[in-house]
Structure 1
Amino acid sequence: MGDALAQAGFPRKVLVACSGGPDSLALAAVAAYFARRGHVDGHPVSVGAVVVDHQLQEGSGQVAAITAEVLADLGLAPVDVRTVTVSGERMGPEAAAREARHAALEAAAAEHGADAVLLGHTLDDQAEQVLLGLARGSGTRSLAGMRPARTAAGGTVLLRPFLGLRRADTEEICGVEELEPWHDPTNTDPAFARSRTRVEVLPHLEDKLGPGVAESLARTASILQLDADYLEDVAESTYASLVEWNGAEAGLPEEALRALAPAIRFRVLAKAAAAVGGQQPSYRRLVAAEALLRRHGSAGPVQLPGGVAVYRLSLAELEGLGRQEGGGTGPREAARCGKLVFRPQKRPAK
């Protein structure tokens, strides 16, 4: 735990996110030990907890209340119970629950002045994350899995001190501390891909390929995190040097884009889409946008998620459009040529 807090600069106040399950309850017990000491490696620290009730199961409120009592008995303070409403209109149920949970954790951290939130993800969770990414055909960023430390959108630092521990280790900690964790029934529900990965896929791989598969998958994530960070830094600086703005539109010079390595080019295109208000495009959509660079004349638009259209326009066609509209082609219009242009689309009023 000391290493995790060191990554965040030894925050003075932290909250443990606890569902009552073995992983987060074990984390709470370890954090309570340091709370009683009052410091980590000589750095003062106080530890509280937050329990998020997703209201997705009957009796979830009672589980949250019992968990809060256990956390208070461990000596954590404050213990905050947050009730959230999960809406799956824009995404799947797992993603919607995660979004609601993280919003609640950030709100709790802000209210209580906590510098960081501790999450109980283990090495097994990391291995499952990598397997799911492989099954979905994801890229480097997804296969890099969960980070030991990251800063959420609202500025709260999220720490995962247990990414090097197996799930069996957290269950052992609970046993030693005489804690009775709650076991979420959705963790073994075959309706969820993550549950099937946990209960069926990973054990099958361990059986057929030998022990150590989970550790190897987690090690793969650690290696890819280094690669992903490097590519992200290069893409960010490249995008900043290339982007040209025309009002709300972002333009990227075609010639410069063609000269980029594909790994950087795709990332730069995704950054341009995000800059005009779009969402992370799928690989297939990025391929469609990138293909505009190999066409002649007018091309597009290619629609990207989040209401973004990307297109390219030749000078000849732009001049033709100007004549049709009774005008000419001025320097500003001509400057749009030779670029991929990312344009936010107007969304219909509700």
Structure 2
Amino acid sequence: MTAVEAEVEERRGRLHPAVARVREAVRTALAELPRETTVLVACSGGADSLALAAATAFEAPKLGLRAGAVIVDHGLQADSAHTAEIAADQCRSLGLDPVQVRAVEVGTEGGPEGAARTARYDALRDAADEFGADVVLLAHTRDDQAETVLLGLARGSGARSLAGMAPMAGLLRRPLLEVPRSATAAACIASGLRPWHDPHNDDPTYRRVRVRHEVLPILEEALGPGVTEALARTAGLLRADADALDALAADLAETSVRRTGDEVLCDVGMLEAEPAALRTRVLRQAALEAGCRSTDLTAGHVAAVDELVTDWRGQRWIDLPQGVRALRRAGFIVLR
């Protein structure tokens, strides 16, 4: 279905509900952008990203925006280059321009999923720089959000992790976080698009796949329908709380943390009077500033540093990732 045909169907009230739902989500996400803004869709060729690409191709011109697509070829399968070109051809047929395939080399840091994600996001940011795009649209759905929350729960993560994926994060936007995966699949069928099915999405080696095909169905069976929606709704509620706490912690850090040479100093007197939710956020950020990587710094590490503030019994120091050491000295937690 071409854009013109789709608009005629929409005016006649015969537009498929799934197509209408995806378009509405995209229209809402793009509505406040200035005219002439360039928007890129990250498209893998799967149902979610193809539905997003089609909706963007339809909505962006009506808002005076320029819309293109980027297909990241991770090179993890023998026919990945061919698959990427098929996705690019479909994006071009939708009227998106520019459309570019970017091949990346996936490393090993952070495990298979983390390394692929890092390579993909780096490629998307590079493409945005090249084309002068202010926004990159990602096709994560409500189901993806629910899976993210469950994975965070399994890790014993805090509110920020359980808040899931943000609708907006820098140049990245996720218009479909309130749209179920079933709607994107139906939208592709209604629009005559041919989605590619990634075999990795059925590989139980990946934790997210096990959550998708094993854990969520069991929860739905045991607790009744609506678990996915409830998990996604929980993420939204926790995100609001986490944003508020992060803002308060940032204010506290302004007065309680300072850097001197290669050391980060946290004022014990100021921190010990604050709630743990703020104090631990400040200490975690201080550890990151001292050189710890966020992927390696655990809640256990932060709790151990917090004990130097709240339960100091003469402990000598705490060893943190990347060779960072935390110790208490002259009324300060010193990280170096």
Q: Same fold (TM over 0.5)?
A: yes
CA offset digits 1:30-61 (Å, max 9, x no partner): 111124xx232xxx101000000001111111
Q: Which amino acid aligns with 2:41?
A: V
CA drift of 1:273 comes to 1.0
CA offset digits 1:315-343 (Å, max 9, x no partner): xxxxxxxxxxxxxxxxxxxxxx1111011
Match of 1:123 in 2: 142
Match of 1:230 in 2: 244
Q: Distance in 2 between matches of 1:184 and 1:254?
A: 51
Identical-residue share of aligned pairs (%): 49
CA drift of 1:287 comes to 1.2
8 Å contact kept, 2:69–2:98? yes
1:197 to 211, 214, 236: 211
Q: Which amino acid aligns with 1:24?
A: S
3-state DSSP of counterpart to 1:52: strand
User: Is 2:35 the counterpart of 1:19?
Assistant: no
Runs of 4+ residues over 6 Å off in structure 1: none
CA offset digits 1:149-179 (Å, max 9, x no partner): 111xxxxx11111111111100111001111
TM-score, normalisation: structure 1: 0.85
3-state DSSP of counterpart to 1:191: coil
8 Å contact kept, 1:7–1:149? no
Q: Which amino acid aligns with 1:305?
A: P
2:308 to 276, 285, 292: 292
CA drift of 1:278 comes to 2.0
8 Å contact kept, 1:19–1:67? yes
8 Å contact kept, 1:17–1:49? yes
Higher helix share: 2
3-state DSSP of counterpart to 2:232: helix
CA drift of 1:12 comes to 1.3
Q: Distance in 1 between matches of 2:258 and 2:95?
A: 55
Match of 1:72 in 2: 92
Q: Distance in 2 between matches of 1:79 and 1:22?
A: 18
Match of 1:303 in 2: 319
Q: Distance in 1 between matches of 2:32 and 2:161?
A: 22
User: Is 2:130 the counterpart of 1:111?
Assistant: yes
Q: List aligned pairs for 1:162-201, cutoff 5 A.
A: 162-201=176-215
Relative contact order, CA 8 A, sep 6+: which one is greater? 2
Q: List aligned pairs for 1:1-350, cutoff 5 A.
A: 1-6=26-31, 12-35=37-60, 38-40=61-63, 44-88=64-108, 90-151=109-170, 157-280=171-294, 281-293=297-309, 294-297=311-314, 299-313=315-329, 337-343=330-336
CA drift of 1:187 comes to 0.8
Structure 1 unmatched ranges of 5 or more? 152-156, 314-336, 344-350
Structure 2 unmatched ranges of 5 or more? 1-25
CA drift of 1:289 comes to 1.1
Q: Distance in 2 between matches of 1:73 and 1:81?
A: 15
Match of 2:8 in 1: none
Q: Which amino acid aligns with 2:62?
A: H
Q: Which amino acid aligns with 2:123?
A: A
8 Å contact kept, 1:5–1:11? no
CA RMSD in angstroms comes to 1.4
3-state DSSP of counterpart to 1:300: coil
**Structure 1 residues 94 and 214: alpha-carbon distance in aligned structure 2, compared to 1, 3 A threshold:** same
3-state DSSP of counterpart to 1:146: coil
